[in-house]
């Protein structure tokens, strides 16, 4: 870009370009007859330029500087990709690609505190695959892994984009539902239960059907002081009801437990 433009000069034009987020990192090379002054350098840096060349333009110098910009861009993309891969490894369960437990607890605690501060409703679902040991023992661990990944796929296709699903441990998964009251959480859990029950997976030993049991609790009703306590409340309820039957949705209401048995 030439510094001396009609209307707006190059500095003003560069600042205008920088005002668009998509162009924040766009390299700008000024062409000028002026160089070396502190005022020129100051205005250039404030406008977000990367470099300048003087007139008359030497084609080999222009090409060299352009190649330098491209090399910096490739380096920045590699760094961004490496950062993204590291973030994925730190926050994601490697088998299922759901959130891992540690990262989920960090996000859930922040959502929990926000809900308490502003009086919003927050619900949580804890689901446990039924008889998963039977799947591993009779169909093999590779099939068990496929079941876990398929389960996460069903959850993601059923849940909203703001909902969070994480592998809580083994065959247990936890789902956080922001801005969701008990009735909505119960409905979501029942819909998930039905979709999981209806799904089948082809194996060498025939089609495999799976079911899951669900515990549901709402911050608005439980009024507990931490995410850990809320999840512990749901986990205990789920454990108790599974001894009496599976493939159910268990609703935790004010420390009491009621169950919606599958039809």
User: Domains plus CATH for the chain?
Assistant: 10-91 (3.40.50.2300), 101-261 (3.30.70.270)
Cis peptide before 44 (omega within 30 of 0): no
Q: Which two tokens stand for residue 206?
A: 């025939």
Is 34 designated active site? no
Residue 99 CA from chain centroid, whole number: 7
Classify 138 in phi/psi space as left (phi over 0), alpha (psi -120 to 50) or beta.
Answer: alpha
Q: Provide CB contacts within 8 A for 193, sequence distance 6+.
A: 211, 212, 214, 247, 248, 249, 262
Q: What is the pLDDT, as a whole number, of residue 34?
A: 66
HEC per residue, the chain: CECCCCCCCHHHHHHHHHCCHHHCCCCCEEEECCCCCHHHHHHHHHCCCCEEEECCCCHHHHHHHHHHHHHHHHHHHHHHHHHHHHHHHHHECCCCCCECHHHHHHHHHHHHHHHHHHCCCEEEEEEEECCHHHHHHHHCHHHHHHHHHHHHHHHHHHCCCCCEEEEEECCEEEEEEECCCHHHHHHHHHHHHHHHHHCEEEECCEEEECCEEEEEEEHHHHCCCCHHHHHHHHHHHHHHHHCCCCCEEEEEECCEEEEEECC
Q: How far is CA 54 from CA 7, 15, 44, 57, 233, in A?
A: 21, 21, 14, 6, 71
Residue in 171, 179, 228, 253 annotated catalytic:
171
User: What pLDDT is recorded for position 164?
Assistant: 96
Spell out the per-residue pLDDT of the chain, length 263, in tens: 888 877 888 888 888 888 898 888 788 888 887 666 677 777 777 776 667 888 888 899 989 988 988 898 899 899 999 999 999 999 999 999 999 999 999 999 999 888 888 888 889 999 999 999 999 998 999 999 999 999 999 999 999 999 999 999 999 999 999 999 989 999 999 999 999 999 988 887 788 999 999 999 887 655 656 788 888 888 887 887 777 789 999 887 654 444 444 43
């Amino acid at each position: 870009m030439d510094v001396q433009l009609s209307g707006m000069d190059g500095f003003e034009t560069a600042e205008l370009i920088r005002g668009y987020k998509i162009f924040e990192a766009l390299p700008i090379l000024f062409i000028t007859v002026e160089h070396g002054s502190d005022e020129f350098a100051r205005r250039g840096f404030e406008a977000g330029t990367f470099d300048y060349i003087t007139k008359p333009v030497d084609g080999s110098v222009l090409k060299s500087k352009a190649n330098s910009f491209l090399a910096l861009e490739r380096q920045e993309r590699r760094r961004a990709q490496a950062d993204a891969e590291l973030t994925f490894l730190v926050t994601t369960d490697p088998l299922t690609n759901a959130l891992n437990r540690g990262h989920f607890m960090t996000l859930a605690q922040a959502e929990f505190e926000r809900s308490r501060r502003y009086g919003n409703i927050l619900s949580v679902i804890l689901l446990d695959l039924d008889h998963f040991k039977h799947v591993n023992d009779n169909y093999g661990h590779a099939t068990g892994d496929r079941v876990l990944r398929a389960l996460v796929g069903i959850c993601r296709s059923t849940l909203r984009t703001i909902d969070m699903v994480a592998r809580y441990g083994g065959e247990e998964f936890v789902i956080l539902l922001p801005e969701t009251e008990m009735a909505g959480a119960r409905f979501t859990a029942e819909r998930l239960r039905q979709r999981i029950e209806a799904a089948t997976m082809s194996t060498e030993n025939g089609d495999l059907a799976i079911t899951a049991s669900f515990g549901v609790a709402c911050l608005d009703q439980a009024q507990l002081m931490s995410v850990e306590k809320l999840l512990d409340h749901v986990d205990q309820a789920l454990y108790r009801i599974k001894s009496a039957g599976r493939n159910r949705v268990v609703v935790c209401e004010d420390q009491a437990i009621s169950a919606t048995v599958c039809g």
